[in-house]
Amino acid sequence: MRIGIVAYWFNRGQGVVARQLRSALDSLGHETSVLARPTRKTNIEPSRIDSAGVWAQAGVTAASDYLIPIDEYVSWAAAGSLEIVLFDQNYQFDEIAHLRDSGVRTAGRFVWEQFSAEHVDPARRAFDTVYSMTACEQERYGRMGIDSPRVHWGCHPDVVAAGLEQEPGGRDTGQVSLLFPGGFMSRRKPIAAVIEAFRAAEGDELRLLLKAQVDRRLTEVRRLARGGRIGRRDKRIEILAEDLPTEQYMRLFAAADAIIAPSRWEGLGLHLYEATALGVPILTNDNPPMNEIVSDGHNGLLVPGIPDGEARSGIPAYRPDVAALTVAIERLRDPGLRAQLRAGARQMRAELSWERTTADLGTLLTGLSGEPS
């Protein structure tokens, strides 16, 4: 089939998911094309589309604006004779409904912290199906009256290969290196709680690298690392705010003894799959969807989540219990525990197989096309 993808096209969650989706569709023998959606002009990285490295691919059309005009959708779909189009986090329901009315099958996927009851009816008009990638997302849509097929996300082979290149024992440096993947440093990241917990942890061998893609909130982060305006800087904490090339970022990730990844909420939590693919243990809070991937004492450590308001859609937000997070950080000083968790991460990598993701996509497409499986 001829299948289109509409999503961001650069090194962030949605863009990475779109690129990996495309690889799965290609492996199934479909002909794919991408309509790359730029970020908003008011974004911290305005009108962003990447065309370097892994993003330099054939069949990628740059849209003119974040709100893509309807004629661009129509002309792009017509030029590629598209039969199905997959959308990620796209609320242009009227434009998508127009495309659907023209005979193109449409499937949408949303992060549950933004999709709310007001979007249900417009989404039904725009999409043949709204699919899910996490159990909590699927369950919530079910309560909204949406029968949402699930595409179980998995560990992409390219990321797994990067993890396999890491030599056994390569982390034996005398230090315990912990990575906090801060991404765009959004409200979902409980940065203050993580830094407070780490500063309270005992162990000169502990190191925390706070990795962000942008310099948002850096003044706040530096102040927190100092322990306040008149505090003393914790020299065990390093801050890196740079959008690294994919390969370099994966090497940085793979070199960590564990990632510290508590979250007030998550959509998919791509970094959790990346850590698993790389065989890196995860420390996070015991809330969905994080606890769908992390099993306490097996491939990571879970700490209690404390209710902390709501996300935009009304789902509950949580912050990690700081004292429990400190204890968990200190537990990672034990090399035996780290070895146990790394072994568990490798086992979880096998469970979160890309073959299952590809098979689920095939089932989704079969349902959209109306063809017998």
List the alpha helices (DSSP H) in the chain.
13-27, 70-79, 93-101, 120-126, 135-143, 157-164, 191-200, 218-226, 246-254, 270-277, 290-293, 322-331, 335-351, 354-369
Residues 140 and 161 in one domain: no
Residues 104 and 161 in one domain: no
pLDDT in tens, 279-312: 999 999 999 999 999 999 999 999 999 999 999 9
CATH number where 19 lies: 3.40.50.2000
Residues 75 and 165 in one domain: no
* Residue showing tokens 């990346």: 274
Q: Which domain holds residue 322?
A: 157-351
Kindly report which listed range (7-21, 44-58, 203-217, 323-337) carries the lowest average pLDDT score: 203-217
Residues 108 and 167 in one domain: no
Most confident of 42-46, 50-54, 99-103, 212-216: 99-103
For residue 282, give the nearest of 271, 133, 191, 250 by alpha carbon.
Answer: 271
pLDDT in tens, 309-368: 999 999 999 999 999 999 999 999 999 999 999 999 999 999 999 999 999 999 999 999
- The residue-averaged pLDDT of 105-131 equals 97
Residue type, 364: L
Taking a C-beta distance cutoff of 8 angstroms, is the pair 80, 88 a contact? no
Give the global pTM.
Answer: 0.91
Round to whole Å and give the CA distance between 209 and 214.
Answer: 15
pLDDT at residue number 245? 79
| The total number of structural domains that make up the chain | 2
Residues 142 and 220 in one domain: no
Residues 208 and 288 in one domain: yes
Taking a C-beta distance cutoff of 8 angstroms, is the pair 109, 71 a contact? no
Per the document, the length of the chain is 373
Local confidence band at 169 (pLDDT 50, 70, 90 cut-offs): very low
